[in-house]
Amino acid sequence: MRPTSERIRETLFNWLTPTVPGARCLDLFAGTGALGLEALSRGAGDVVFVEKSPLAAKVLRDNAQVLDASAADVRHADALTFLTAPSGKKFDIVFLDPPFAADMLGDLCRLLDEASVLGSGALVYLEEDRARPETDLPPGWLIYIVVADVEQSAAACAANGGKVVVEPRGLAGGRFCVVEDPGGSVAALYQP
């Protein structure tokens, strides 16, 4: 298990601050549940945690109970199976951090798109190995607008201990930067 580093988590939630309160979140490949629990602590309406490992799911369920996180719904399930079983639930924020070796981000994004689980204006957070090529996103997905100023984007990345590995670029009228963590992760936020 490779939990999202504290540095990347802080950067991510700085980006998501205006979006989290009341949001319906999905934490696929939840592992320790750090992202979903952080979302709950910042006012998310509810979080569905999906974790394949029975032990990790049990520990996550126990931790949610200790934290009195009644809005946490821990599912012991495979992420692919979860996405292909219709639930009717729509999510505002999806945290997608599968094992790097699995090389499945593209397939998971396609499934998210096809499964009709994304609410209007949903945000999908991806974490991937920086050594791999950038994930192919489904048609129509946009890189999320972080701030409106290139220098400010780069400065925000650097201030959070990362470095800009993809030059900030204008898309959909805004800017975007990718933060690299020394542990080998690349954090990116997309809007389908």
- Each residue of 75-93: pLDDT tens digit? 999 999 999 887 788 998 8
Give residue 7's pLDDT.
64
- Nearest 5°: CA angle at 81, between 77 and 87? 90
| Burial group, residue 113, by CB count within 10 angstroms (0-12, 13-18, 19+) | middle
| pTM for the model | 0.75
In the chain, DSSP assigns E strands to 24-28, 46-51, 72-76, 91-96, 118-129, 142-143, 179-180, 185-191
Bridge-based pairing state of the strands 142-143 and 185-191: antiparallel
Return the sign of the alpha-carbon dihedral for residues 73, 76, 80, 84: negative
pLDDT at position 139, please?
75
Q: What is the pLDDT of residues 32-62, one digit of tens each?
A: 999 999 999 999 999 999 999 999 999 999 9
Distance from C-alpha of 36 to C-alpha of 53, rounded to nearest angstrom: 17
Q: Are 109 and 135 in contact (CB under 8 A)?
A: yes
pLDDT score of 145: 37
Structure tokens at 15: 């980006």
Query: 128-174, pLDDT tens digit by residue?
Result: 666 666 677 777 776 553 333 334 445 555 554 544 444 433 333 33
pLDDT band for position 18 (cuts 50, 70, 90): confident
What is the predicted pLDDT for the residue at 61? 95
